[in-house]
Amino acid sequence: MRLSDAIEEFIKTMMEQEEAEIELKRNDLAQYFGCAPSQINYVLSTRFTPDHGYVTESRRGGGGCIRIIRIERESGEFLQFLLEERIGDAISPRAAQILCSKLAEQGAISQRTAQVMCAAMAPESFSVPIPEALKDRLRAKMLRNMLTTVARHRATSGEG
């Protein structure tokens, strides 16, 4: 298993046991895993971003530490946030995938629907000769359109 995955899992386990907020010492954690301290930053920046549903804070100097906070958001609220603020007019395949996973995790859409959405937005679906920037714009429009559909039917029918 990748080191990064192990560290991610370790942190998530800590957060389950304790609360939606933990503090840790970067150097201690690095020593525990026998890796460079900056590895911890890598894990945080690739797996504990706002898109993943987390925010982090830190303080340097003696007694300094890193705080990781899980954002508790209702799925409707999250959907609204995505449509109004997050998506914008361009999005990468990776970011789109992370957001879909999050929606599924929250129960806003089924695992299945998330996978279908990711498939639609995956790079392989875009193997035609147009600039990458245009692909990101197309993806944003598609995602927006799909999520609007989800939101519309969310009110009336149950989950999905």
Q: Which residues bind a second copy (CB under 8 A)?
A: 1-2, 5, 62-63, 109-113, 115-122, 124-130, 134, 137-138, 141-142, 145-146, 148-150, 153, 157, 159-160
Phi, psi of 133 (to 5 degrees): -60, -35
Interface positions, 84-123, toward DNA (CB under 7 A): 94, 123
Q: List C-alpha distances in Å: 43 to 3, 5, 56, 125.
A: 9, 8, 12, 28
Q: What is the largest CA-CA distance in the chain?
A: 54
Amino acid code (one letter) for 24 = L
Q: Name which of a second copy, DNA, none residue 98 binds, using a CB cut-off of 5 to 8 Å depending on partner kind.
A: none
The CA distance from 39 to 51, in Å, is 20
If contact means CB under 5 to 8 A according to the sort of partner, which of DNA, a second copy, none does residue 27 touch? Answer: DNA
Question: Residue 25 binds which entry of a second copy, DNA, none, with Cβ cut-offs from 5 to 8 Å by kind?
Answer: DNA
Binding positions for DNA, rule: CB under 7 A: 2-5, 24-28, 35-42, 46, 56, 58-66, 94, 123
